[in-house]
Chains A and B, each alone.
Chain A
Amino acid sequence: DTAVSQTPKYLVTQMGNDKSIKCEQNLGHDTMYWYKQDSKKFLKIMFSYNNKELIINETVPNRFSPKSPDKAHLNLHINSLELGDSAVYFCASSQVLGSYEQYFGPGTRLTVT
């Protein structure tokens, strides 16, 4: 039973399109995150989110927006996709905001052509 799941696993799309990646956690955690791992293997935080607070990494373009329909889900919407958005995106969750132990999903490999 997967604790943190993401769909789709692979996503290939053209520049300019709008796409979403879904994330669900069944751990009962209060906080969820989105990370981006680029071609150089840097894994960087994009967003931290709980039901009270959204923390955005200032380097993230506003074309990226997290949307949380409920505590167990944090979806990532990306508008006007660019070539540089190609990366692996990981969702994660933790019991509370700022908890050091985070549980990661398997990742979504996004390729923008």
Chain B
Amino acid sequence: DQQVKQNSPSLSVQEGRISILNCDYTNSMFDYFLWYKKYPAEGPTFLISISSIKDKNEDGRFTVFLNKSAKHLSLHIVPSQPGDSAVYFCAASAAWTGNQFYFGTGTSLTVIP
């Protein structure tokens, strides 16, 4: 069962523009959400997170928005840079899962110089 979904397998954006990566989840009990970034031949690295008590968290060029009623979160990268080209995974977690992560299948972002 796929509790976290990233329906866009790939996204291309021009350098300097905004990248918006989307993620949907099915279980309203999830209370913590994370984005991980993965370069080829490397493991995922933590990027940014948000608790369900918030609807926005910002860290430099990266902002995550959470819409609990829609069970949707998004990652905004602005301005996008070529070094942002990577696969982005969203993940959801909750106390009832033992804080285990449920990952989406990833979105491959390409930032075109």
Contacts and interface: CB of A to CB of B under 8 A. Distances in A.
Given A55-B98, A100-B99, A42 B105 contact: yes
Interface string B96-110: 001111010110000
B32 interface: yes
B34 interface: yes
Interface residues of A, number: 23
B60 interface: no
Interface in A37-70: 40-45, 48, 55, 57
Contacts of A99: 99
Given A42-B105, A100-B49, A102-B46, A48 B41 contact: no
30 contacts: A4-B43, A40-B105, A41-B106, A42-B2, A42-B103, A43-B44, A48-B98, A48-B100, A55-B100, A57-B100, A90-B44, A92-B43, A97-B98, A98-B98, A98-B99, A99-B99, A100-B34, A100-B49, A100-B93, A100-B99, A101-B46, A101-B49, A102-B101, A103-B46, A104-B43, A105-B43, A106-B41, A107-B41, A107-B42, A107-B43
A99 B32 CA distance: 11
A58 to B, nearest CB: 12
Interface centre among A4, A90, A92, A102 (most CB of B within 10 A): A102
B93 to A, nearest CB: 6
Contacts of A44: 103
A90 B49 CA distance: 21
A11 B87 CA distance: 23
Contacts of A103: 43, 45-46
A31 to B, nearest CB: 10
B89 A43 contact: yes
